[in-house]
Structure 1
Amino acid sequence: MLITELKHLEIKFETADILPPPFSHQILLSLDFQNDFIDTKFEIAYTYRDELSDEEILDEGFTGEENVAWAGELSNAWKAPILELLAQMPDKPNQKAIQEEQNFLELVLNGKTFGNPKNQEAWEYLLQELSQAVYETYGKELPFALTFKKIDSNKSVSAFDLFLHYTDRRVEAYTEVDSMKRSRSLTWEEASELIGQVFVGDFFPDKASKNEPKSIGKFITIGDGLWYEFTKSLKNPNGNRAYITSLYQRFEEYF
């Protein structure tokens, strides 16, 4: 789709019918593109929670305070990836019916409606990123932080730190080997792909440690205050025996 001028974009999203409460939710994101910023309205509402007790909601890791309505400014850094996704869309709306297991997603572009676009998964991922940008911008959440740490048998310590600032789509990355620290250059796309690879694994919080590791091994922390050890509290997912090895090799490349 060729966009000569992007003025307004509205994204309407609702989780699939098969997703139960307290996880089911709706999102409405409205973006008006100004010269130096994006005028933004964001709403997220969790649905059908009246079917559950407060205890059932809390047991799933929620607080009951997840509904948000916010208006403010987002960085213009998000305009380019939005235009990139729009360029991948066909000019005609997708008329295919939504399946029960499919999320609902509708775009309103400069006043024209496009329902469940063919590149819907990419739009859903971008919506997650934009939602995170909203949460960081008004202070609900901090930038995403990840640290990989390796301690060898000779007590040599290597670490890789990654920070994603969704507010302005900025990446910070550092490597440190035996107290020698230097910055690394990563694109947003590379950093996002790495995070996606990390979260493929099976994490076991009950086997993780709250203390930063001092013993020999390979460890990772993903911003939840816990350190996961490779093969012990971070394991290969079902059907992917190469996960641990490939993830470790990926981090080794940054050193």
Structure 2
Amino acid sequence: MSDTALRGTARRAFAPDWGMRIFGLLILAYLVYAATQLDLGLGRFVTGLGEGARFLARMVPPNFARWELLLEGMIESIQIAVLATVFGILFSLPLGLLAARNIAPWWVSGPVRAFIAVCRSLHYVIVAILFVKAIGFGALAGICALVIASIGFVAKLFAEAVEEISMKQVEAVRSTGASTMAVLLYAVLPQVASRFVGFSLYQLDSNLRNSTLVGIVGAGGIGGTLFAAFKRFDYDFVSAILIAIIALILLAEIVSGRIRASMR
């Protein structure tokens, strides 16, 4: 092959993709436009760094003098998280089975999947606001909001896990004339039990974190105490609350990690 032909082949092999280049330029132009519309700028960022440094300075050292108030809020958050996780799992188990398309007919799995999608579509803080408006302030609103969030997560993953099971075991149990409940107990659940426990432990970790946020909108827990401390500009107590929340999450992560490791 001549040199001219080789150069032509190279040009064709590495020809510029003008469509992608134009698309990239459009994305860059939109980013610049969005930054100007949102009043983003280097000066504002530098000013924010200075304000942030002064804010952090007011948080040191943390003040644990009101440890009784802190402990009360933490216990309430733990109770909200545990109750929401338990009820969320109890609802998610049957919903996940009904949403699995390999063991449930389409006219059952379709509506159940739509319900799970609705539970997952709204942020739990928004759901907590709705429950606060509906049933009033307090822990019940937080529990209801986190139950909805748990269903949206655990039921979806559980349904997907059931859809990945081996149908050979299901057919073998069915061939014995077993009832539907027996098929679920002896052919379906044993294949997904460990994964379901893992989903549940992860959701407990998530609810422990989320229970600290729903309190900000009046749904109980340490979040209400944190929000009140912010409003009072009591930043050293805010620091103590944040440290306690971090310690709680780390402890929950260690415990759940040990449980998952013991199941392997």
Point out the structure with the larger strand share: 1
Q: TM-score when scaled to structure 2?
A: 0.21
Structure with the greater alpha carbon radius of gyration: 2
Greater RCO (CA < 8 Å, at least 6 residues apart) = 2
